[in-house]
Amino acid sequence: MLQSAYVSNLSKTKMNFLLRSVYNWMMVGLLVSGLTAFMVANSQILTHIIFGNPYMIWVLFFIELGLVIAISAGIYKMDVSTARVLFILFSFIDGMTLGSIFLIFTSTSIATAFFIAALTFGVMSLYGYFTDTDLSSWGNMLLAALIGIIIAMVVNFFLKSAALEWWIDVIGVIIFVGLTAYDTQKIKQLGEEMSNGSKEALSRVAIVGALSLYLDFINLFLMFLEFFGNRRD
C-alpha cells in the first residue's frame, strides 16, 4: 500500500510538472509574440519591411509552418533546449505577423478581444482537464472543420465577401473553443501515460503542448478581434 501511494504521488508530481511547463511555456510564447508585435507596429522600418512587401507575409507564414512541423514531427529526436529555441523562434516570427493588428484595430479593441479570448480559453481548458467525457472523438471532426475553414479563408482572400468572413469567424470560434478542450485533455492523457517517463521526456511533451495551446489561443483571439474589434480610421 505504501508503495502504491508513493507511485501515485510520484505520478501526480510529474503531471503537475508537465502542466506547469505547458502553461509556463505557452505564456512565454504569448509574451514574446506580444512584445514583438508591439515593437513591429511602432517601427516604421519594420512595418515597411514586413507589410510593405506582399511576399514577406507569405515567407513568414511558410517559416512558421515549417517550424510547427519541425517541432511536432521531430520533438523526440531533438534536445529539449533545441525544441525550446524553435518554439521561441516561432513565437517571435508569429509576433512579427501579428504586428498588423496594432495598425488595423484600436488598442481598446485588442485588449477587449484578448480578455474575452483569455476567459474563454481558461474555461474550456479547465473543462478539457476535469471532464470525464472522452473528447478523443472530437479530433477528426475538428481537424476536418479546420481544413474547411482554411480553404474558405483562402477563397475569401480573393472574393472579399463580408458575409463569408462573418461565417468563417463564427465557425472558427467554435473550432478553436473545441480544440482548446480537446488539446488540454490530450496533454493530460499524455502526462498520465508518461507517469514513468523522465523529466526530459516530459519537457519535450510540454513544448508540443504549449505550441498546441498557443495556436488555439492566438486563433481564438484573432477570431474574437474580428468580431468585436473597432478598426482605426
Delimit the domains of the chain by residue range.
Answer: 2-228
Q: Are 60 and 93 in contact (CB under 8 A)?
A: yes
Q: Are 206 and 18 in contact (CB under 8 A)?
A: yes
pLDDT of the residue at 3 = 37
pTM: 0.91
User: Per-residue DSSP letters for 94-148?
Assistant: HHHHHTHHHHHB-HHHHHHHHHHHHHHHHHHHHHHHH--S--TTHHHHHHHHHHH
- Percentages helix, strand, coil for the chain (3-state, rounded to 5) are 85, 0, 15
Q: What is the pLDDT of residues 58-69, one digit of tens each?
A: 899 999 999 999
Query: Mean pLDDT of residues grouped by 10 in the chain (233 residues)?
Result: 41 81 97 97 94 90 94 89 96 96 93 96 96 91 91 86 88 94 93 76 92 97 90 80
pLDDT of the residue at 2 = 35
pLDDT of the residue at 76 = 83
Length of the chain in terms of residues written: 233
pLDDT of the residue at 197 = 67
